[in-house]
Structure 1
């Protein structure tokens, strides 16, 4: 694996056989998956992914599993985003072909020593229709996040809706990578998979609020791991898991493994094997354990000091047996603060309150809340930011429609619809600086035969 851990590419790139595409979402929880990158790379060359894999990549991978020949690995293409030899072989081949040096960040390879392969990845493709649609409308690069390929992730943490894996047009599932894969489109019927909530072909199922909170927490926890991968100086060692869990046993149960096992509802022998470094917990098990203890998965793997996400609380099988106070003594009523923030997160009123508004309502500084309730605060901020983004995109679309109407009206009146004249009739003339609005202006004029 060390050969994958090379310094980031320099600004001056050597000539490559295949196009050098920018990596979408790097340093964020929504970095694209390697299978998504291959689909985009194939489209950039006007090829099907199957052709690209078979003719361009397979010759570089002389393996028993036939490397890049998709016909023989369809049901195993999920492994291309994982931690095994299929992922590492493909990364090295694509590094050589494209000049990249960071393609391992599009897989779970950075966590190969601490995340077992079993039950790690979905065998079929999952997606969020609203993410697809919003990326298309806003002009962002359409991609499929690595987050969507992991079995522990059941929902889109942005829209807080279950991910889908059945095409609403043909009702079929998709492999992670197939001969005619195209990002955002069904590989079977080739129809667009994106959709907004209104008038959607998808049937959205509601999830109980308590379960939704757990799913959001889990997705964000894994997203934090993915986002942190570029900053890792080297591979995280397997020993980190045993040391981190050992610290948890010491902190939460005074070193008593049997008591700690009862706290996390796991077999005592299993916990003992984890703490001794004999076995590794699966990713879903590790995330569930951290959720129960209210600690960061990343902190457990990276740091020796254990701090809970809701101030520093020691747990017992039934209830907290002691509490060490935060320096801010006003946080004495931790349950009240947590309940209020949870209610803010689960409240479906529009517009959703910002973290600033929530902190003012509680009478605490925002940084104090974030320090003690990091995950809840992140989720509240993410929902508010997403709402603001959607509101802005809707405003842009409304402005586009207004531009079309103004152009047609000026044309009927015998006046050339110049940018200056059109802006005088717009509710928000400043939006003409937006690339999408300007393109609609140009397209509408061309549609009327105005090429001036």
Structure 2
């Protein structure tokens, strides 16, 4: 208190306070970056939409699309359904959405929810599956635990991964309630729920178990190795100083051929049971092998995919190198392991395949996917095999009819367009507008061309 009766207060700092920038969208933290079970970008988008109390369709159409200066064959991302799997991949769609989401959430690490880090290493062919797959047991465990978030790990989207390594069960790929395949990102996607019937996809008392047939011992050994090496790739992505270049793959093949086979590409190809010209093209960097091929090669070499790509100095170990030599020499002890025939399990698999809504395949492909010989399956279950083959024949006939009808319609539209423009609708000219120019080999399409010309009085 001063003498004149006035009280003195502490001085105020009137400098402008530095306020950090605010994100347009909620800064939702991604799950598991730097671990094998990192979250997928499609799952992150679903969780981000849920955090804003909207559907993924609303979030993308009203917020994200306006920041993307292009369209993907359609203005509505969800019209592409199964193609939304590319959001988790290595292409333009993944890059665009990562860029937009990072700018709107101010997160700088969302690229690790995709495979963009490996864009120069793996081709898109058979890399990711076109529909969701999940482990209902994992969902149920996360739901029961109060401290765990329900999400969709990126590793579930790999086509090569078909088993949950935690529960030794096949991943489910179809809703057990509405029997529909679920796209990676749907209009009403929610982690752990079906976007069509809104049913919980975790294990419950009434959950059908036909989709969770126990994998065989051989399948389990293969899948455990696949999941381990894929998880290593996902966990390593944030720690790489920069994305690996395409030349890394060619250099890796050259290293192994040189060290183990003294530069003999033919011997290396024989050991892998792969055509020599393919290995040669990989060595020259002209083409990239699919991920499934690299996985099989690395499994034979007993080296992880990450070490195969990045390990510059190779060490011959006593268990790996001699086995490779024996395989090269055709030793009978190194022949490929065959799945031991289990009659009950094989019947379950065939019945499940016949009842499922998946695209029909020839019996040869079905037998290969199940890990059994077609001849053995026909011997034990001739009626089931014939039924599967009949479904495939029916499917091919129906597909051919639909294809011809579509070609005929395209021809009619092309004739009308040429007539409007004053151009004679010749077969050669129309072929340039068709999605499949070779369709004129079908007499029905040629007949449609004649009929369309007749309508505009160009033919008698």
Map Cα deviations across residues 17-60 of structure 1 (whole Å, 9 max, x no partner).
10111110111111010000000000000000000000010001
Give structure 1 regions of 4+ aligned residues with deviation exceeding 3 angstroms. Answer: 307-312, 314-321
Please report the TM-score for the alignment, with normalisation by the length of structure 1. 0.65
Contact 1:33/1:81 (<8 A) preserved:
yes
SS of the equivalent of 1:152 reads: coil
Contact 1:261/1:268 (<8 A) preserved:
yes
| Candidates 112, 124, 128, aligned match of 2:119 | 112
- Alignment partner of 1:241 is 2:241: no
CA distance 1:124–1:310, shift in 2 (3 Å)? farther
CA distance 1:91–1:308, shift in 2 (3 Å)? farther
Contact 1:125/1:175 (<8 A) preserved:
yes
Matches within 5 A, 1:23-62: 23-62=30-69
Per-residue deviation at 1:311?
5.3
CA distance 1:134–1:270, shift in 2 (3 Å)? same
Aligned residue number for residue 422 of structure 2: none
Map Cα deviations across residues 155-212 of structure 1 (whole Å, 9 max, x no partner).
112222111111111111111001100001001111110117x764232212221121
Q: 2: CA distance between counterparts of 1:176 and 1:68?
A: 18
Q: Aligned residue pairs: how many?
A: 310
Aligned residue number for residue 87 of structure 1: 94
Gaps of 5+ in 1: 1-11, 322-334, 336-452
Map Cα deviations across residues 277-322 of structure 1 (whole Å, 9 max, x no partner).
111111111011101111110011112123478855344453589x
Aligned residue number for residue 225 of structure 1: 233
Map Cα deviations across residues 101-121 of structure 1 (whole Å, 9 max, x no partner).
111000000000101111111
| Candidates 260, 272, 281, aligned match of 1:273 | 281
Aligned residue number for residue 141 of structure 1: 149
CA distance 1:67–1:224, shift in 2 (3 Å)? farther
Q: 1: CA distance between counterparts of 2:327 and 2:269?
A: 15
CA distance 1:307–1:35, shift in 2 (3 Å)? farther
Map Cα deviations across residues 106-151 of structure 1 (whole Å, 9 max, x no partner).
0000000101111111111100111111111123111101101111
| Candidates 77, 100, 110, aligned match of 2:84 | 77
| Candidates 242, 247, 261, aligned match of 2:269 | 261
Q: 2: CA distance between counterparts of 1:191 and 1:118?
A: 32
| More moved, 46-55 vs 61-70 | 61-70
Q: 2: CA distance between counterparts of 1:135 and 1:195?
A: 11
| More moved, 211-220 vs 85-94 | 211-220
Give the alignment's Cα RMSD to 1 decimal. 2.1
Contact 1:57/1:68 (<8 A) preserved:
no
| Candidates 181, 202, 206, aligned match of 2:189 | 181
Contact 1:296/1:308 (<8 A) preserved:
no
Contact 1:70/1:178 (<8 A) preserved:
no
SS of the equivalent of 1:219 reads: helix
CA distance 1:147–1:61, shift in 2 (3 Å)? same
Q: 1: CA distance between counterparts of 2:112 and 2:75?
A: 19
Per-residue deviation at 1:68?
7.5
CA radius of gyration, larger in: 2
Q: 1: CA distance between counterparts of 2:72 and 2:41?
A: 18
Contact 1:253/1:315 (<8 A) preserved:
no
Q: 1: CA distance between counterparts of 2:54 and 2:231?
A: 31
Q: 2: CA distance between counterparts of 1:128 and 1:13?
A: 40
Aligned residue number for residue 28 of structure 2: 21
Aligned residue number for residue 207 of structure 1: 215
